[in-house]
Amino acid sequence: TWTPDHFVDSAVTALQNTIGPDDQVILGLSGGVDSSVAALLLHRAIGPRLHGIFVDNGLLRQDEFATVLKAYEGLGLNVTGVNAAPEFYAALSGLTDPEAKRKAIGRTFIEVFDREAQKVQGARWLAQGTIYPDVIESVSVHGSSVTIKSHHNVGGLPEKMNLKIVEPLRMLFKDEVREVGAALGLPGEILNRHPFPGPGLGIRILGDITPEKVDLLQRADGVFINLLKEHNLYEHVWQAGAMLLPIQSVGVMGDERTYERVVALRAVTSVDGMTADWAHLPYEFLAEVSNKIINQVRGINRVVYDISSKPPATIEWE
Ligand code: XMP
């Protein structure tokens, strides 16, 4: 029978047999469960010869980069944090089309990652946190033009650097990945984290991206996510987040008329993200989130809740 401990033992042995004694391995860390578990497994097999690269694309959640980097360091991982936010903002400047934004983010990620990876002497392997559903997904035909996880495909790099691919989680389903992560001591804050798209807040800010908009959305999203956690609702929804809409609407604050931005809250229940239902969050909870956002985040005067299911709507707005 499959147990996480057996899996860890046999995967560690297999990795030690496959990866040469002087080989260095590079892995892109995202803060997500899959790449984090892959890192812990490789770290157990080869220690500091695993070189994790964690890129701050400026499109992560509030405090995410610092918090997650600290967690990685606490786990003893050999990881380099790269602050590349200005590069991503420059690449995104003026872009409004969702696919154009995805491409710009993906391209910039490869440039930054490539540059960091070149600094690792003796690199022979590129590790990836690919899991079984990703393997299936990449061979099945999608009805839409959206290539899920295109961001994580560091295309070109393996050939260019003459790297071989190692994917230790290739045969695992998500729940198994979580069990393996728990067996390896991954903290709950990473283990139970909601899925988060590679292009991050870049596809949750409708229209063009500016650092100011990122800051607004990070704060609104932070209020929403923190309250979900405080009310023990976080673990009952599959994914949640806030979207910054490209419109302003009229409001009133004191005796002043305001003309400010709208935030849409999205929370869904799902098994695999392929279909999803909007989460029936309590009205009192939604009221608290709305009040707190509007009171605390200057520049937002209206909050709406997305009550669309997938299909026909998607989880992300872009
Ligand atoms: P949709 O919006 O298609 O999202 O219902 C389904 C799941 O995929 C995530 N998603 C992405 N993940 N790169 C990613 O890595 C992307 O471009 C991307 N687009 C959507 C989304 O967050 C949800 O979990």
- For atom 13 of ligand 1, the residue with the nearest CA is 149
Does the residue 199 lie in any domain? no
Which is more confident, 135 or 182?
A: 182
DSSP state for residue 315 in the 8-state scheme: S
* CA dihedral sign, ordered 283, 286, 287, 288: positive
Ligand 1 atom nearest to CA at 196: 22
pLDDT band for position 156 (cuts 50, 70, 90): low
| C-alpha distances out from residue 147 to 95, 106, 153, 208, 269, Å | 19, 11, 10, 21, 22
Q: Which residue has the tokens 């650097």?
A: 161
d(CA 313, CA 318) in angstroms, rounded, equals: 10
Q: Is 273 annotated as a binding residue?
A: no
Whether residue 263 is predicted with pLDDT greater than 70 in this model: the reply is yes
Residue ranges with strand state E in the chain? 24-29, 50-56, 79-83, 123-127, 164-166, 239-253, 256-269, 277-278, 300-305
Burial 268-284 (b: 16+ CB within 10 A, else e): bebeebeebebbebeee
- pLDDT of the residue at 252: 94
Ligand 1 centre to CA of 148 (Å) is: 6
d(CA 155, CA 183) in angstroms, rounded, equals: 31
- Do 105 and 202 contact (CB within 8 A), yes or no? yes
Residue 51 shares a structural domain with residue 143: yes
Ligand 1 atom nearest to CA at 147: 17
Residue 208 shares a structural domain with residue 170: no
Ligand 1 atom nearest to CA at 274: 6
Task: Note down the domain range covering 270.
Answer: 204-305
Give the pLDDT confidence of 48-101 residue by residue, as tens digits.
999 999 999 999 999 999 999 999 999 999 999 999 999 999 999 999 999 999
Whether residue 140 is predicted with pLDDT greater than 60 in this model: the reply is no
Q: How many separate domains does the chain show?
A: 2
Mutate to test the pocket of ligand 1, among 109, 128, 148 (most ligand atoms within 8 A of CB): 148
Q: Of all residues in the chain, what percent carry a pLDDT higher than 90?
A: 89
Does the residue 36 lie in any domain? yes
d(CA 284, CA 282) in angstroms, rounded, equals: 5
Give the pLDDT confidence of 286-316 residue by residue, as tens digits.
999 999 999 999 999 999 999 999 999 999 9
Ligand 1 atom nearest to CA at 310: 5
Q: For residue 316, is it left (φ>0), alpha (ψ between -120 and 50) or beta?
A: beta
Residue 153 shares a structural domain with residue 96: yes
Ligand 1 centre to CA of 14 (Å) is: 32
Whether residue 148 is predicted with pLDDT greater than 50 in this model: the reply is no
Q: Is 145 annotated as a binding residue?
A: no
The ipTM, to two decimals, is 0.99
Residue 238 shares a structural domain with residue 89: no
DSSP state for residue 282 in the 8-state scheme: -
Residue 106 shares a structural domain with residue 151: yes
- Do 158 and 31 contact (CB within 8 A), yes or no? no
Ligand 1 centre to CA of 236 (Å) is: 19
Mutate to test the pocket of ligand 1, among 34, 174, 315 (most ligand atoms within 8 A of CB): 315
Pocket-forming residues, ligand 1, beta carbon under 6 Å? 102, 146, 148-151, 195, 197-199, 239, 273, 310, 314-316
pLDDT band for position 167 (cuts 50, 70, 90): very high
256-269/277-278 β-pairing:
antiparallel
- Do 224 and 241 contact (CB within 8 A), yes or no? yes
Residue 183 shares a structural domain with residue 214: no
CATH at 74: 3.40.50.620
Mutate to test the pocket of ligand 1, among 316, 317, 318 (most ligand atoms within 8 A of CB): 316
Average pLDDT over residues 258-265: 98
**Whole-number mean pLDDT of the chain?**
93
Smallest CA-to-CA distance from 25 within 130, 157, 131, 121 is with: 121
d(CA 289, CA 251) in angstroms, rounded, equals: 18
Residue 256 is encoded by which pair of tokens? 């002043």
- pLDDT of the residue at 30: 93
Whether residue 144 is predicted with pLDDT greater than 60 in this model: the reply is no
Q: For residue 156, is it left (φ>0), alpha (ψ between -120 and 50) or beta?
A: left
Give the pLDDT confidence of 184-215 residue by residue, as tens digits.
999 998 999 999 999 999 999 999 999 999 99
CATH at 283: 3.30.300.10
Among residues 168, 191, 214, which one ends one of the domains? 191
Mutate to test the pocket of ligand 1, among 131, 149, 154, 269 (most ligand atoms within 8 A of CB): 149
Residue 214 shares a structural domain with residue 283: yes
SS3 302: strand
Does the residue 317 lie in any domain? no
Ligand 1 atom nearest to CA at 195: 24
- pLDDT of the residue at 133: 85
Smallest CA-to-CA distance from 101 within 56, 57, 64 is with: 57
Does the residue 234 lie in any domain? yes
Among residues 191, 213, 240, which one ends one of the domains? 191
Whether residue 137 is predicted with pLDDT greater than 80 in this model: the reply is no
Q: Is 31 annotated as a binding residue?
A: yes
pLDDT band for position 149 (cuts 50, 70, 90): very low
- pLDDT of the residue at 248: 98
Whether residue 105 is predicted with pLDDT greater than 90 in this model: the reply is yes
Whether residue 145 is predicted with pLDDT greater than 70 in this model: the reply is no
Residue 186 shares a structural domain with residue 214: no
- pLDDT of the residue at 139: 58
Q: Of all residues in the chain, what percent carry a pLDDT higher than 70?
A: 93
Ligand 1 centre to CA of 47 (Å) is: 32
- For atom 21 of ligand 1, the residue with the nearest CA is 197
Residue 59 shares a structural domain with residue 103: yes
Residue 179 shares a structural domain with residue 233: no
Ligand 1 atom nearest to CA at 317: 2
Q: Work out the burial of residue 143: count CB atoms within 10 Å of its CB; fewer than 13 is exposed, 13-18 middle, 19 or more buried.
A: exposed
